[in-house]
Amino acid sequence: MTQRLAANLDVADWKAVQMSTEPALEAGPNILGGASGALVGDAITAGITGRRSVAFWLAILLHATALALAITTEVNAFGFAICLLVWIVLNALWLAMVRRPTVAAFISLEIFVVLILLSRFKFDKLWATLDFIDVMIVDHDTTAFLLATFPALRWWILLAATATMIAGIFTWRLDRHRIGSFASLVAFGAAGAALIVLCLLHPTGLNEDFEGKSYVSKFARTGVETVHELMTHGYFEAADEVNGKAIEAAATFGCHATRRLPHIILLHDESSFDITAAPGIRVPPNYQHHFESFDGKARKLVVEGVGGPSWFAEFNVLTGLSVRSFGRFATAVTRIAAGHVFRGLPHSLRDCGYQTFSLYPFYGSFLASRAFQTTTGIEHYLDMRDLGTTDFEADSFYYNRAIDLIHRERGDHPLFLYVYTVANHFPWNERLRPRLTPDWHDLGNAPDVNEYIRRQRMSAHDYQEFLAKLKRDFPGEQFLIVRYGDHQPQFGARVLDPLLSKEDIARHAEQLDPRYLTTYYAVDAVNFTPAGMSSALVRLDAPYLPLIVLEAAGIPLDATFTMQRQILRNCRGLFYSCEGGARVRQLNRLSIDAGLIKGL
């Protein structure tokens, strides 16, 4: 009988049979012998066969679930194909290590589910999905932000880990099938090669990170692209060399101002642009006046993010550099730049004796904002906890905190304040502080557009009150105020092109259609006349904004900003898109060689 069983079982199964029958064999033929022994052996064989059957159908169920996830989350055939290749790669990889097909399918499905859930979670909170860089760059700030914002998350992680462990042990004990390692490695190599080729032939666009779909395929494609870019040029694009005299000038620069320098306030006007650029939108009287500078001109700012990434504009206006220089790493630009990018507006202002402050309306650990801004020269960083709030506030709240800070800190040195305002931040499906606009009446636009315009009216009122307080409270002080819209609201593309389908709008966004990237910037002054406005073109790319601030304040330019001013004039306000990025790469190299960018 033992020979018959051994012929039908693999080594692991045979050991299990031996362990179960040894006590009976030792007891003698009265217990196990003849027909009774055969019955016991058949029962054991039937039990193992039953477990094999359960494991087989469980494996089928796991693969079917993965197929259902691919069908429901991928939006086109290409994404579906990438998703299937990822599934094959994962299964083959785990099969090569554990040899059990059901266990391999279970672990692979677990990865699929976790990836999709994390992507949906991130998209719900930040309107951006998970990409490979989020896994590659795991820093303290990101972990601290998640646990501070969602304290229950640690318990969900613990519960999920416990459930996974229990299910994994059950699947391991159940699965008696074995697959050869050689076959698994062949499948892994073939599917992996196909995955790499397809991903390199069809790279993602930055806008795709802000679309809540195709979670698995998008993650895989960004993984291939990230590794490829790291191998070819690292995190950051830069020319091979620049003029040696320019490097020497940048490294030895010292600020020698010939006039009294004003206090500078840089205002981040969240999600704001002149919505009359869209057809058929009704706005209140004098709506467009808010977007005009002290000289009556309305100026346009072309940002680098479509409908969401405030940190793109934050990077632009503090460093004077392009997010697009980081290629596939752009979505993590502030996290990468922290501790590496020192060049920019606050750094130059500190060289000229400014005290530098930032009033940030969210957690400082969000996308490493605190670490990034302090690297660029912000000495005093105040986040929502320092400002004394647990929620987004009306713009007047942040203006009042700025007034208090100026009262407290003004003295022998001029001040630089970087102030975020967030009244126009999503969502727009509910009234924000309705008591502040008791006379408001909807204007006949879509509900979210009506609410957005109402908040813009609140912003315009609060800004005029802020200017009035500066004049009243500080009659002997000079102020330069520069404000900008960081990106259009999420619905901006929809109202700009109401006749286009979502797919058509997505294609325009992928091609960086400037209509979807255009906001505004404005220059104002209190008790001060701007020293120079020659670079303040009617239309300007966002990385030039620090240059506008420095020139308007009358601050001497170092060699990097002198080069950037020359680029502005030669390229007529275009930055990265001028000459295929060649000029920008030269500026990046100069900043690196001058020691203003390190380790990238």
Mean pLDDT across 395-401: 96
Least confident among 233-247, 303-317, 443-457: 233-247
Is the pLDDT score of 268 beyond 60? yes
Question: Does residue 584 lie within any of the structural domains?
Answer: no
Do residues 8 and 51 both lie within one domain? yes
Per cent of the chain over pLDDT 90 is 48
Contacts of residue 23, defined as CB under 8 A and 6 or more positions apart, other chains included, come to none
Which domain-ending residue is among 540, 557, 574?
A: 557
Question: Does residue 191 lie within any of the structural domains?
Answer: yes
Do residues 224 and 141 both lie within one domain? yes
Question: Does residue 253 lie within any of the structural domains?
Answer: no
Mean pLDDT across 190-207: 86
Could you report the per-residue pLDDT of 289-336, keeping only the tens digit for each? 999 999 999 999 999 988 778 999 999 999 999 999 998 888 889 999
Question: Does residue 312 lie within any of the structural domains?
Answer: yes
Least confident among 34-43, 99-108, 457-466: 34-43
Do residues 495 and 545 both lie within one domain? yes
Could you report the per-residue pLDDT of 54-81, keeping only the tens digit for each? 767 777 888 898 888 888 888 888 889 9
Question: Does residue 589 lie within any of the structural domains?
Answer: no
Do residues 64 and 186 both lie within one domain? yes
**Is residue 144 very low, low, confident or very high in pLDDT (cuts 50, 70, 90)?**
low
Is the pLDDT score of 52 beyond 70? no
Most confident of 35-49, 198-212, 324-338, 546-560: 546-560
Q: What is the pLDDT of residue 102?
A: 82
Do residues 361 and 487 both lie within one domain? yes
Cα 199 from Cα 89, distance rounded (Å): 14
Q: What is the pLDDT of residue 281?
A: 95
Do residues 273 and 196 both lie within one domain? no
Beta carbons within 10 angstroms of residue 436's beta carbon: 17
Q: Which structural domain, as residue segments, surrounds residue 550?
A: 260-281+291-557
Q: Concatenate the DSSP letters of all residues of 361-409 into one string.
A: SS-TTGGGHHHHHHHHT-SEEE-HHHHT-SS---HHHHHHHHHHHHHHH
Least confident among 203-212, 417-426, 445-454: 203-212
Could you report the per-residue pLDDT of 1-38, keeping only the tens digit for each? 444 444 444 444 444 444 444 444 344 444 444 555 54
Question: Does residue 517 lie within any of the structural domains?
Answer: yes
Q: Tell the residue number behind the tokens 């819209």, with chain if given.
A: 485
Q: Tell the residue number behind the tokens 């980081």, with chain if given.
A: 326
Q: What is the pLDDT of residue 242?
A: 73
CA 308 to chain centre: 9
Is the pLDDT score of 561 beyond 50? yes
Cα 573 from Cα 552, distance rounded (Å): 17
CA 108 to chain centre: 26
Do residues 155 and 36 both lie within one domain? yes
CA angle (302, 457, 277) in 5-degree steps: 40
**More confident position, 177 or 599:** 599
Mean pLDDT across 577-584: 91
Counted domains in the chain:
2
**More confident position, 39 or 267:** 267
Peptide bond connecting 309 to the previous residue in cis, omega within 30 degrees of 0: no
**Is residue 529 very low, low, confident or very high in pLDDT (cuts 50, 70, 90)?**
very high
Question: Does residue 61 lie within any of the structural domains?
Answer: yes
Do residues 228 and 327 both lie within one domain? no
Mean pLDDT across 449-460: 96
**Is residue 51 very low, low, confident or very high in pLDDT (cuts 50, 70, 90)?**
low
Do residues 303 and 444 both lie within one domain? yes
What is the pTM for the complete model shown? 0.79
Least confident among 68-82, 240-254, 583-597: 240-254
Which domain-ending residue is among 557, 572, 589?
A: 557
Which domain-ending residue is among 519, 537, 557?
A: 557
Question: Does residue 595 lie within any of the structural domains?
Answer: no
CATH number at residue 358: 3.40.720.10
Rounded alpha-carbon distances, angstroms, from residue 97 to 40, 100, 180, 183, 492: 34, 9, 10, 12, 49
Is the pLDDT score of 228 beyond 80? yes
Question: How many Cα neighbours within 13 Å face the side chain of 209?
Answer: 22
Residue among 178, 196, 189, 176 nearest 97 (CA): 178
The 3-state DSSP class for residue 128 equals: coil
The 3-state DSSP class for residue 560 equals: helix
Do residues 466 and 340 both lie within one domain? yes
Do residues 270 and 204 both lie within one domain? no
**Is residue 100 very low, low, confident or very high in pLDDT (cuts 50, 70, 90)?**
confident
Q: What is the pLDDT of residue 110?
A: 87
**More confident position, 399 or 305:** 399
Q: What is the pLDDT of residue 206?
A: 66
Do residues 423 and 367 both lie within one domain? yes
Residue among 376, 360, 365 nearest 417 (CA): 360
Is the pLDDT score of 509 beyond 80? no
Tokens matching residue 526: 């209190």
**More confident position, 102 or 488:** 488
Average pLDDT in the chain: 84
Q: What is the pLDDT of residue 525?
A: 96
Is the pLDDT score of 117 beyond 80? yes
Q: What is the pLDDT of residue 145?
A: 62
